[in-house]
Amino acid sequence: MIKMAAFFGVDYVKMLRKLEDEKEKRMEELFEEMVENMYFDEVSMTKTIKIIGLINELASETEKGFMGFNEYISHHKYHGTTLEELSNCEYTGDFEPGILYVDDDSKDHGKIVADMCVDFQHGDIISTYDQLFKVYSREYSVLVRDEDPEDLFIEILGPDDLCVIIEDGRWYCR
């Protein structure tokens, strides 16, 4: 490089500084780009981990079994006459189901209950897993497929043709 600078009559120190400045500027640009991409990857990774957590939660609950929400409510007995006594209800069904789903003929048929209020006055669904998944993408749909009462399973449809099947305590992509 020194010989080349002498041949062209250029001060090689200035040439080295200019090259070093350009290299440093390019390194800063690459670093900023890398940090920007890492941020988006972290956000994407966090969403993915939360979604997998919800899927694992549903999978573990499928081992306990499925029950329609209306059937579940019909198995609650209330004891007492005062409001306080009536608010203490007890589930009296054959088994405590893991997955409760909307079993009426409404537009929400098949949606899985995430939170509910059940007492002597209420049998209300507060939220569904469909709503929980939609926090991450509006494209998610989470339903219990109950066409065959002997073979209930959960189907999650999502972005990019994602299809997750959950049954018998496990899940897989189809």
Residue 113 lies in a domain: yes
Residue 83 in any domain: the answer is yes
Q: Is residue 2 part of a domain?
A: no
Tell me, yes or no, if the pTM score tops 0.85. no
Between CA 26 and CA 127 the distance in angstroms is: 50
Judge whether 120 lies within some domain: yes
Asked if the structure places residue 11 within a domain, the reply is no
pLDDT single digits (tens) 51-85: 999 999 999 999 999 999 999 988 887 776 777 77
Dump the DSSP string for 120-161: SS-EEEEEEHHHHHHTT-TT-EEEEE-SSTTS-EEEEEEGGG
Q: How many domains does the chain have?
A: 1
Within-domain flag for 168: yes
Residue 132 is part of which domain span? 43-173
Query: Looking at the domain assignment, is residue 3 inside a domain?
Result: no
pLDDT at 111: 96
